[in-house]
Structure 1
Amino acid sequence: MDTDLDERNVAARGGMAPSQGMKSGSRARRHGVLDLRTLNRALLQRQLLLRREKRSVGDALEHLVGLQAQDPQQPYLGLWSRLDAFAPEELSRSIADRQAVRIALMRSTIHLVTAADCLRLRPTLQPVLTRGLDASAAGPKLEGIDRGTLAAAGRALLEQQPSTGAALGKLLQERWPDRDAEALAHAVRTHVPLVQVPPRGLWGKSGQAVHTTAEYWLGRPLAGGIPTDELVVRYLRAFGPATARDIQTWSGLQALRPVLDGLRPRLRSMRDEDGDELFDVPDAPLPDPDTPAPPRFLPGWDNALLSHADRRRIISDANRKEISRPNAVTPGTILVDGFVRGTWRIEKTRRDAILTITPLERWRKQERDAVVEEGEGLLALVGGEDRQREVRLVGAP
């Protein structure tokens, strides 16, 4: 591809051409304004996506404030893209040994977190789950029920016998026969901290989501809750610099401006190119915008893509629409030069494992070669040794 065309492609995806990035980024920082490419490299470094790091699974989970994990296998892929010499068995052992758990937290979605973070984060994020229940179809179906009584009944049942949501709902209907079983179970999930227990979540294993309480599973009570200002600082270390809206988007918490105002003496303040105020911790890295960013494969719901109100720092508006079509399964995404520029999927049979890569924009030959090489590593992880493995590049613009 000729240089001029490549630079136009980079600009179209919300980044900057390499020849422009260093000048613009340096000038922007001098004036306290950060462009998209600078924000991109900061996000990648803090998300451990600029280079794989030598960290334990627990240390990575703590730094990232967990990984989104509705699909229980996706955290393995997210950590493979972030950690040097990642072994899936290490994460499986952490889950089996109750050092890491899957629980509803930020945005009321399932996250994989350490046991310590489970006990500290859940009380602070309780308002997010309550608001989500009240706004859902289940909310009106619970009118007139004392939620404290319902939560206590659900807790007793699940600590006696871990069960699926459907089974729990039916058991609760024995006491509230005129109520919707799914709504009853949803209320317990909201008001009682429930973890999903193995074998679901172990590497290569499947099964229904079976729940018990976090306190019963971990053998410890919930902590008092992480202070909101501490949670904001941890977010900035993993996702910053960021606006107040970004922090609210990631956490689901509301009205964080007073918290940020109280933190001002401990934070640095900048602006993005739209003039919005960005907050950051003073010692957090701001890499040069021209820092090379190797290709990375991310699972469909990776928090790197979901934790900002304005996601252009990692995916253009056009590509975001392309991968977010109604009723479509959210695909895995591929970072090329730091931005989402492709998607991927793996199909497995008894004999074969096929990785299909679909560019969303034109790639240069060296970019294609690097993506295929990275994809071969992913396929070796997921496909196993007994299958024939193949990488397919299709639909290239």
Structure 2
Amino acid sequence: MPKVTREQILAYRLHGHRLTERAPAADLAGVAGRCYPQNTPPGAAGLALAARVHEVSEERITAELDGKRLLQAFGARGAPHVFPARDAAVFTRGLLPETEEELRAFLRGAVPSLDRIGLAATDLAGLASEAVKEVLDGTALVKDDLGRRAGELITDRLPAGQRDGWKGHSPYSARQFLGESLVRFALPVVSLRGILCHGGRQGRSPLLRRTDQWAGAIEGGMKQAPGELVERFLRCYGPATPAQLAEWGGIGRAQAERLWAAAGSGLAEVGSGGGPRWVLKDELGRLESPEEVKGVRLLPPHDPYLQARDRQVLLPDRDRRKVLWRTIGGPGAVLVDGDIRAVWRPKAGRRTLDVTVEPLGRIGAKHRATIEEEAAGVAAFRGLELGELRGC
């Protein structure tokens, strides 16, 4: 079993994430299908793609979404992600929890309430899917309205003994009844079933639509989707384990093992300081002899590269990890020659964007000009000019 070092793992992942050299503008969809960017806070997916692809702006991302070449839907960890419409089966069916055990793991926050009213997770998923189809037929709604209307529709479809609990107090929000909250928990499952996606906005709020009426029914590749999902995960986060796949996807261990098995015999085991891990066999050579990583990138909060579950590999110092990975209001990361050397925060004005850089280690004066160039690119993505660059 070959042994690999932290430096080899980092270089392999940076190449997989397309962070070693920006791709041509025409490769935008391909890169989105490679790294599967999360779009929280809104705009984060576009910034993640701008760090990987030439000529990316907010206007271009909007045009790609409106043109249905890119699709946004709830996915891994229940969060909205952006991916190519042509790869929809991979990022929906590929991650879909199916059994009661798998659904309870994915909907873990809702489980105590489901048990209290005696409703199975599979029943919630089925009821929510049918209600969403009906409520969104020929229209689009913001999340609050969809949750309420679907929750009200489900009420009359429940046995009498469950209705009072369904219409009762929600421990999740004082402004919602319990059934409304449970529907909101279930919306990512409805997305993974290929029923629900995002399309357009109402003010600052994204609109939710039926996938078949917005982008067309998801067809083809359903049987291969779980194995393809694991392959894409490993190209960006390998070498890895089923447990890391479970954390990355927000799914249970049993589902992760099922998906892992779908990858078949195409995996190779390698050793590292953290124990045995797996990589795609056809990628083993690239892992053992990675390309040298040079250059600077400003990665937004929740960037796909930062979604690796073994954060100690990306940033060994525990105190520095606490600065970068915060529960609320986390900063972005500054990559310098393959290492996370700083965090950054933007502050937008009417015409300019100020950027503050907080070093986590030695950056080096020679990199300041490149950091300024990348910060200017972040400002340009948002249609602004770079104002002040502080801290480096």
| 2:93 corresponds to 1:123 | yes
Which residue identity lines up with residue 319 of structure 2 in the other structure? A
After the TM superposition, which residues 255-334 of structure 1 pair with which residues of structure 2 at under 5 Å, given as runs? 255=254, 256-257=256-257, 260=260, 263=263, 265-283=265-283, 285-286=286-287, 288=289, 291-307=292-308, 309-316=309-316, 317-325=318-326, 328-334=328-334
Post-superposition shift, 1:332?
1.3
Give the match for residue 26 of structure 1: none
Cα 1:47/1:90, change in 2 over 3 Å: same
**Residues 207 and 181 (structure 1 numbering): CA distance in 2 closer, same or farther, change over 3 Å?**
farther
Amino acid at match of 2:232: R
Deviation at 1:79, TM superposition (A): 1.1
Letter of the aligned partner of 2:74 in structure 1?
A: A
CA gap of 1:346–1:225, structure 2 versus 1, over 3 A, is farther
Counterparts of 1:229 and 1:212 in 2: how far apart (Å)? 28
The aligned counterpart of 1:244 is 242
1:311-342 Cα offsets, whole Å, 9 max, x none, are 2332233321122345x401111112212221
Contiguous gaps of at least 5 residues in structure 2: 156-166, 169-176
- 1:173-208 alpha-carbon deviations (Å, 9 max, x no partner): 5443544253143155144222111137xxxxx621
Q: Of residues 136, 139, 143 in structure 2, which corresponds to 1:165?
A: 143
Deviation at residue 266 of structure 1 after TM alignment: 2.4
In structure 1, give the amino acid aligned to 2:312: R
Looking at structure 2, the residues matched to 132 and 264 of structure 1 have their Cα atoms a distance apart, in angstroms, of 24
Q: Secondary structure at the match of 2:282?
A: coil
Q: 1:136 is aligned with what amino acid? A: G
- For residues 344-369 of structure 1, the C-alpha deviation after alignment (integer angstroms, 9 at most, x for no partner) is 12212224321121212232211333
Seen in structure 2, the aligned counterparts of structure 1 residues 116 and 195 have a Cα distance that, compared at 3 Å, is same
Which residue of the partner structure matches residue 62 of structure 1? Answer: 33
In the alignment of these two chains, the number of paired residues is 354
Task: Please tell me whether the aligned partners of residues 333 and 342 of structure 2 are also in contact (alpha carbons under 8 angstroms).
Answer: yes
Asked if structure 2 preserves the Cα contact closer than 8 Å seen for 1:130 and 1:190, the reply is: no
Deviation at 1:91, TM superposition (A): 2.5
Mapped partners of 2:241, 2:134: distance in 1: 42
CA distance in 2, matches of 1:351, 1:169: 37
The change in CA–CA distance for 1:96 and 1:138 in structure 2 (over 3 A counts) is: farther
Q: What is the root-mean-square deviation of aligned Cα atoms in Å?
A: 2.9
Query: Which residue number in structure 2 is paired with residue 152 of structure 1?
Result: 130
Q: Is the 8 A contact 1:347 1:354 kept in 2?
A: yes
Identity of aligned residues (%): 22
Q: Residues 376 and 391 of structure 1 are in contact (CA less than 8 Å); yes or no, is this contact kept in structure 2?
A: no
Distance between the aligned counterparts of 1:379 and 1:103, measured in 2? 26
Match of 1:197 in 2: 199
Aligned with residue 215 of structure 2, among 213, 218, 225: 218
Go from structure 1 to structure 2 and tell me whether the alpha carbon gap of 1:182 and 1:131 turns closer, same or farther (over 3 Å shift).
same
Asked whether the 8 Å contact 2:198–2:207 carries over to 1, the reply is yes
3-state SS of the aligned residue for 1:276? Answer: strand
Give deviations 1:17-52, integer Å, cap 9, x for gaps: xxxxxxxxxxxxxx8211111111111111110111
Stretch of structure 1 that moved more, 286-295 or 336-345: 286-295
The letter of the residue matching 1:212 is R
Structure 1 gap segments, 5+ residues each: 1-30, 201-205
Distance across 2 between alignment mates of 1:127 and 1:49: 31
Compute the displacement of 1:53 (Å): 1.8
Change in 2 beyond 3 A, CA 1:127/1:173:
closer
TM-score, normalising length: structure 1 = 0.79
